[in-house]
Amino acid sequence: MVRIIFLGNGDAFNTHGRLFTSILVDGSFRILFECGPTTIYALEKKHIPINSITHIIVTHNHGDHIGGIPFILLNLRHINKNKISVICPNSTKKLIPKIYRQFFNDNNFENTYDVFSPNSKLPFHLRNISGTHSVPSLIYRLELDGKSIVYTGDTSKMDLSKFAKYADILIHEASSLNPEAGQFGHSTPFEAAETAKQSKVKLLALTHSPKLSGAVKKKVQRIFKNTIFPRDLQEIDI
């Protein structure tokens, strides 16, 4: 069994008061997909020790996806001392120390994290493909404890019928109801549902979105029945 904890499901604007998107996969490793500015707050709310997180997987360099990393490192340096592994594109590798130094005027934090490229040899199976966003962004497929988790990060609608095929869960962004969302590198809930249907996944979880109305949810589930709309801090087992 793998537990998925939706630490936050909001967009870059915290629309409707939702926390920035961050997903904790809790199994033989504790792996964060994304680390927005509210991630450390959400971990504290869930009574999850910061130093129990083993890995952070980053899709791209926007602040709502990486803005919490300096606070994680600050905590690991001064309170819950430990080292964390960050898996990220090369551009993020260069950005992390720059942001930390600007935030805290501190150069003595290198022993709080190790950084790996997404194609490094890791203690679990992780694959990636490129998404379609306003900046370079990755989509990941994580195999952990016999379960497959596909996480899109930010992307316009893509054909994931091979990459996400038969996954136990597809965690897909649903940033906007605007039919032109793809022009901005994002997806609608309906496009995410179509992707889930084409990929024959077991479960679709919509994230990185505002709160959706009951009518929208029903329309989405008419496209793909096994869709959930997680609340911030909600947990599910897969």
And the tokens for 125?
């199976």
What gap in Å lies between CA 201 and CA 155, rounded to an integer?
18
- Tell me whether residue 193 is in a domain: yes
Which residue has 């890995």 as its token pair? 55
CATH for 170? 3.60.15.10
Other C-beta atoms closer than 10 Å to the C-beta of 107 total 9
DSSP 138-188: EEEEEEETTEEEEE--S------TTTTTT-SEEEEE---S-TTGGGGT---
What gap in Å lies between CA 218 and CA 190, rounded to an integer?
10
- For residue 110, the model assigns a pLDDT of 85
Number of domain units in the chain: 1
- Tell me whether residue 191 is in a domain: yes
Per-residue confidence in pLDDT tens, the chain, 238 aa: 999 999 999 999 999 999 999 999 999 999 999 999 999 999 999 999 999 999 999 999 999 999 999 999 999 999 999 999 999 998 899 999 999 999 999 988 889 999 999 999 999 999 999 999 999 999 999 999 999 999 999 999 999 999 999 999 999 999 999 999 989 999 999 999 999 999 999 999 999 999 999 999 999 999 999 999 999 999 999 9
SS3 label, residue 88: coil
Which residue has 């998925």 as its token pair? 4
Report CA-CA distances (Å) from 100 to 10, 68, 105, 107: 24, 10, 7, 8
- For residue 217, the model assigns a pLDDT of 98
- Tell me whether residue 237 is in a domain: no
DSSP for residue 212: P
- Tell me whether residue 59 is in a domain: yes
Residues near 42 by beta carbon (within 8 Å), at least 6 away in sequence: 7, 8, 19, 22, 232, 233
- Tell me whether residue 235 is in a domain: no
- Tell me whether residue 154 is in a domain: yes
- Contact, 169 vs 203, CB < 8 A? yes
DSSP 35-48: --TTHHHHHHHTT-
| Residue range(s) defining the domain that contains residue 34 | 3-228
DSSP for residue 10: B
- Tell me whether residue 234 is in a domain: no
- Tell me whether residue 75 is in a domain: yes
